[in-house]
Amino acid sequence: MRNATIVAPQPEAVEAGAEVLERGGNAIDAALACAFVQGVVDPQMAGIGGFGSMHVYMPKKGVHEILEFYARAPLKAAPDMWLDKIKHQSRDGFGYVLEGNISDIGYLAVCTPGSLKGYETALRDYGTFDWADLIKPAIRLARNGFMIRNHMHWYWAKDQSNDGFANTLDKLRFSETGRKVYFHDDGTLKNVGDLLVNKDMGETLERIARSGGSDIFYHGELAEQIAGDFKANGGLIDRQDLARYELSKVEPVWGDYRDHRIATSPPPGSGFPMLELLHIMEQFDVGSLQHGSADHVRILFEAMKRMTIDKDAHMGDPAYVDVPYEKLLSKEHAKAHARAIKAGEIASVSRLDSSQRDTTHISVIDKDGNAVAMTHTLGSPSGAITDGLGFMYNGTMSRFNPLPGKPGSIAPGKRRPSSAAPTIVFKGDEPSIVIGAPGGSYIAPAVAQCLMNMIDFDMSVLEAVSAPRIVGVSNTIDICNRIRHSVEDELRAQGYQVARSPQTYAFAAVHAIKIDGGISKGAADPQRDGMAISVG
Does 418 show up as a binding residue in the annotation? yes
Q: In what order do the strands lie in the sheet with 260-264?
A: 253-257, 260-264, 423-427, 430-436, 511-516, 519-524
Left (φ > 0), alpha (ψ -120 to 50) or beta: where does 369 sit? left
Left (φ > 0), alpha (ψ -120 to 50) or beta: where does 21 sit? alpha
Measure CA of the first residue to CA of the last residue in the chain; give whole Å.
10
Catalytic residue among 359, 360, 375, 423: 359
Contact 134, 20 (CB under 8 A): yes
Cα gap 500→205, rounded to integer Å: 42
Among 71, 189, 64, 89, smallest CA distance to 474 is for 89
Contact 426, 261 (CB under 8 A): yes
What is the three-class DSSP state of 269? coil
Exposure of 325 by Cβ count < 10 A (0-12 exposed, 13-18 middle, 19+ buried)?
Answer: buried
Does 419 show up as a binding residue in the annotation? yes
Does 270 show up as a binding residue in the annotation? no
Residue 199 makes CB contacts below 8 A (sequence gap 6+) with 142, 143, 390
Question: Strand 430-436 to strand 511-516: parallel, antiparallel, or no bridges (unpaired)?
Answer: antiparallel
Exposure of 51 by Cβ count < 10 A (0-12 exposed, 13-18 middle, 19+ buried)?
Answer: buried
Among 252, 363, 361, smallest CA distance to 27 is for 363
Determine the Cα angle at 264 with ends 379 and 27, to 5°: 85
Q: How many residues does the chain have?
A: 536
DSSP 220: S
Cα gap 74→236, rounded to integer Å: 6
Contact 323, 313 (CB under 8 A): no
Among 424, 473, 470, smallest CA distance to 451 is for 424
The reply to whether 359 belongs to the active site is yes
Q: Count CB-CB contacts under 10 A for residue 319.
A: 12
Question: Directed axis angle between helix 485-493 and helix 294-314, to 10°?
Answer: 70
Cα gap 101→269, rounded to integer Å: 25
CA 334 to chain centre: 25
**Where is 361: in which H helix or E strand?**
strand 358-365
List the catalytic residues: 359
Which residues are annotated binding-site positions for L-glutamate?
418-419, 440
Which residues are annotated binding-site positions?
418-419, 440
